Amino acid sequence: MSADLCEAEQIQSPGCIQPPFALYCMHPATLETLAATTNVGEVLPDGKLPDAALDRLKRYAVEGEGETGIEFMLGEEAVAFAHLKDNVLLVEVEKLCPEDRIYCHGGFELQVAISALSDILTLEEAAGLAADAIRKLTGMERVLIYRFDRYANGDVVAESKTPDWAESFDGFSFPSADIPTQARSLYLTSPARFTACRDYEPIEIRPALNPLTGKPFDIGRCRSRSLSPIHRRYQENLGIDGAFSLSIVTQGRLWGLVVGHHRRPHRVPIPARQQAVALTGALAVSISAMEVVEERIGHERDHIIHGQLLEQIATAGDFLPLLVGGQTKLTDLFFGSIGAAVGSWTENDDDGQLTIQTVGFVPEERAIFDLIRCCREHMINGLFATDCIAKLAPEFISHAQIASGVLAITIGQPTNQIILWFLPEVIGTRVWGGATPEQVKKAKSDGDYLPRRSFERWAEEKRGYSRPWLGRELELGRALQRTLNNVILVQKGAIHTLEGRVAEKTRAIETYARSVESSNQNLEQFAWIASHDLREPLRMISSYLSLIERRYHGLFDTEAREFFGFAREGAKRLDAMILDLLEFSRIGREDKDLAPVPLADVIAEVMDNLAVATAESGAEIRIDAEMPVVFGGYGELVRLFQNLLGNAIKYRHPDRSPVVRVSCRPRLDEWEIAVADNGIGIEESHFDRIFRVFQRLHTREKYDGTGIGLSISKKIVEHHGGRLWVESEFGNGTTFLFTIPIRQMGPG
């Protein structure tokens, strides 16, 4: 058999499922059973779904909730999961086992883990904490967390295992060929899979083909879908029996996996599965927040350096020498770049007559000539980037120490200049589990497509590679290319009029606006998916808790009841984080026109909302000035003042009664509004951090909240055309100040 058979395997349509599930394939309009597994009579009485379940399925099909799917209880004996695919309603049913009904200790682990995740700032800490917590929740002997690199290889970033399992995969990498392309697609659409036993007898679907289409049923999203025989062989070679996989999805992409291993059969209780899914979702939110913060910091740095570089060359007749010899140099543009070169030639010159200017550590001039020729041959729209130039031209390996990675752009009309940046070699050893990607590729080319049998360490020294070029760095290279081309056009007199310059600027602004629009849409889409896919298992957790409490009322001791409280509180907090993230992404996206809003009315409503907190704390809120009428969104302004006044009450000083003052004064063309308190204050080193998403200065046990309130406040102010900042002395109170433009209200 050839290697292509692995990629061609129709794993989404195996025609069978895993026990102990049963599956119904139904017509969504009539609820007629088109096919079913042969064991439906063993799972449900007479093999029939209860009338209440049919009513719920009918509502689901009519309302068109589509690919999202629903999960609900079938009385107190079974649970069902349903979703639509190819005009077929697929209904999976699983009987409840005794451990499903008595499982309660996991809620405490979930609550503790989710609370801790919101305070963690590094990926390694977050992944390690999640791996430990998920192993405790599921009872698995080993839990691994993978991150996929840009070549789809899986790097193990965290491992938690029982002490008696000597084998460790911590720090290992696994070739991308371990997961075929179609399996990666299913990880996005079917993010949770639990297999109690590897060597099960598959349960067939009868009939195997859809009588309406004559095609196999696509059950790729079904949790009970039977595993590929090749995957089961892979598990056998790994020495594992019970297993699970949970997808880590960030911003619509498959970031990685949480994988569970057990050396014997092991069924994870249904509530524990839901909690593991919820914790994986919380980990994904935490990772996404880290990436957003890191990306934002990188973009801010890029913007500053780019601006300095352009300001430096704005009025220069010949700007090329300033790129390598000015105060801000090409090497300042990209982190880690130790050298850069600018090559120039006339239209009739060949490469040997290039004029080269350099800065920093660069290869010798002849090598740069050859490198320019190589880059020009592989450019796409005037840009080329690689983290291993020796792959294209092996002779450049001799320069790897200073020039393993290369980014090149061409400029000029026609293109008669080229700019190159060099990244140095990053020498590292990568430990592969059993085989390197090249070894797997060779084995498949020899006809051996079966999973490898050994997973011993295979260390590979990585030479000739730099760090990878980041996506935003490639965008920055293109932005510089466009800007320099415009500068050249201006110098040549191609843009003669003010109207022409305005048109160019307008197009640039429109391009930037489209980019921002796309980013906002991606964030909103991510938040929307999170709000649906994470809140559904949270509702399941609450349902199971309620079911257990009703069924076994009076049998729990004080500690068990306390655990139930922890579980409910953890679910409540995660739900609050999801809702806050969704709100953060939607600020300014509702397309509602701004209207005159009396701030006095806004503050009055907020004070009513905070009446209980004000009374309990003994806080005094003083309005020290007449509040103006501003143009804005009433709901957003209520949320802004609710956050600022609420924080002033929450972070009160233990030794004095809280006093909050709200003041306002006009400044040129804007109102400056201040909310000052006499609370615990903020250290100056934390002024920037407090406005980042999910950043907290205190533990949740001391001060409740999700850590996103000030991020939302900042975004609201910016949506209104103002700015928000903080002034504080640690221990002596805090003042938050923001501005809102003064706009002409018009008649009436």
Query: What does the longest C-alpha to C-alpha distance in the chain come to?
Result: 93
DSSP state of 190: S
Q: From CA 201, how far away is CA 185, in angstroms rounded?
A: 26
Reply yes or no on whether the pLDDT at 679 is more than 50: yes
3-state secondary structure of 343: strand
Q: Which residue has the tokens 């809280």?
A: 658
User: Quick one: which of 228, 230, 232, 251 has its CA closest to 243?
Assistant: 232
Higher pLDDT, 110 or 3: 110
Q: From CA 283, how far away is CA 693, in angstroms rounded?
A: 15
- pLDDT at residue number 479: 86
Sequence-ordered list of residues with C-beta below 8 angstroms from that of 17, at least 6 positions apart, any chain: 23, 37, 92, 202, 203, 205, 219, 222, 224, 225, 226
Torsion of CA 128, 129, 131, 133, to 10 degrees: 160
Sequence-ordered list of residues with C-beta below 8 angstroms from that of 727, at least 6 positions apart, any chain: 734, 735, 737
Q: Cα separations (Å) of 476 from 300, 407, 585?
A: 12, 11, 25
Q: Which residues of 513-527 are buried (b: 16+ CB within 10 A; e: fewer)?
A: eeeeeeeeeebeebb
Give me the helices (H) in 419-470, please: 437-445
pLDDT (average), residues 143-170: 91
pLDDT tens profile 565-589 = 666 666 666 666 666 666 665 565 5
What is the rounded end-to-end Cα distance, in angstroms, of the chain? 81
Angle between helices 558-586 and 106-117 (to 10 degrees): 40
Q: Cα separations (Å) of 136 from 268, 570, 624?
A: 11, 16, 54
CB 82 within 8 A of CB 104: no
- Tokens of residue 190, six digits: 């079917």
- pLDDT at residue number 349: 47
Angle at the Cα of 122 from the Cα atoms of 118 and 127, rounded to 5 degrees = 80
pLDDT tens profile 666-678 = 887 889 999 999 9
- Tokens of residue 94, six digits: 């699983």
Sequence-ordered list of residues with C-beta below 8 angstroms from that of 166, at least 6 positions apart, any chain: none
Amino acid at 488: I
pLDDT tens profile 439-474 = 666 666 655 555 656 566 556 667 888 988 988 889
Q: From CA 329, how far away is CA 342, in angstroms rounded?
A: 12
User: Quick one: which of 255, 80, 259, 228 has its CA closest to 158?
Assistant: 259
Reply yes or no on whether the pLDDT at 523 is more than 70: no
Q: From CA 79, how far away is CA 422, in angstroms rounded?
A: 58
CB 411 within 8 A of CB 485: yes
Sequence-ordered list of residues with C-beta below 8 angstroms from that of 94, at least 6 positions apart, any chain: 20, 21, 22, 43, 78, 79, 80, 224, 270
Confidence of residue 748 (pLDDT cuts 50, 70, 90): very low
Confidence of residue 428 (pLDDT cuts 50, 70, 90): low
- Which residues face 206 on adjacent strands? 36
Provide φ and ψ at 608, rounded to 5°: -65, -45
Q: From CA 201, how far away is CA 204, in angstroms rounded?
A: 9
SS (H, E, C) 210-256: CCCCCCECCCCCCCCECCCHHHHHHHHHHCCCCEEEEEEEECCEEEE
Task: Quickly list DSSP for 199-212.
Answer: T--PEEEESSB-TT
User: Quick one: which of 565, 583, 563 has its CA closest to 640?
Assistant: 583
Distance of CA 15 to the CA centre of its chain: 34
Q: Cα separations (Å) of 613 from 177, 293, 624?
A: 57, 32, 21
DSSP state of 693: T
Higher pLDDT, 191 or 456: 191
pLDDT tens profile 324-361 = 888 888 988 888 888 999 988 765 545 447 788 999 99
Provide φ and ψ at 409, rounded to 5°: -135, 145
CB 255 within 8 A of CB 174: no
Q: From CA 314, how far away is CA 488, in angstroms rounded?
A: 11
- Return mean pLDDT, the chain: 81
pLDDT (average), residues 127-132: 94
- Tokens of residue 119, six digits: 């305070």
Q: From CA 359, how far away is CA 340, in angstroms rounded?
A: 5
Give me the helices (H) in 653-743, please: 709-719
CB 377 within 8 A of CB 384: no
Reply yes or no on whether the pLDDT at 244 is more than 90: yes
| Host H or E run for residue 355 | strand 355-360
How many residues are recorded in the chain?
748
Q: From CA 651, how far away is CA 668, in angstroms rounded?
A: 33
CB 464 within 8 A of CB 390: yes
- pLDDT at residue number 64: 60
What is the percent of the chain where pLDDT is above 90?
32
The whole-model pTM stands at 0.61
Q: From CA 223, how far away is CA 69, in angstroms rounded?
A: 12
Angle between helices 634-650 and 709-719 (to 10 degrees): 140
- Which residues face 26 on adjacent strands? 33, 89
620-623 and 659-667: which strand pairing?
Answer: parallel
Q: Which residue has the tokens 């600022």?
A: 644
User: Quick one: which of 649, 669, 650 has its CA closest to 661?
Assistant: 649
Q: From CA 409, how far away is CA 392, in angstroms rounded?
A: 17
pLDDT tens profile 374-422 = 998 898 888 999 999 998 888 889 998 999 999 999 987 666 789 999 9
- pLDDT at residue number 99: 84
Q: Cα separations (Å) of 353 from 318, 350, 358, 368, 416?
A: 20, 6, 16, 12, 12
- Tokens of residue 263, six digits: 């050396």
Q: From CA 527, how far away is CA 577, in angstroms rounded?
A: 10
DSSP state of 332: G
Reply yes or no on whether the pLDDT at 710 is more than 60: yes
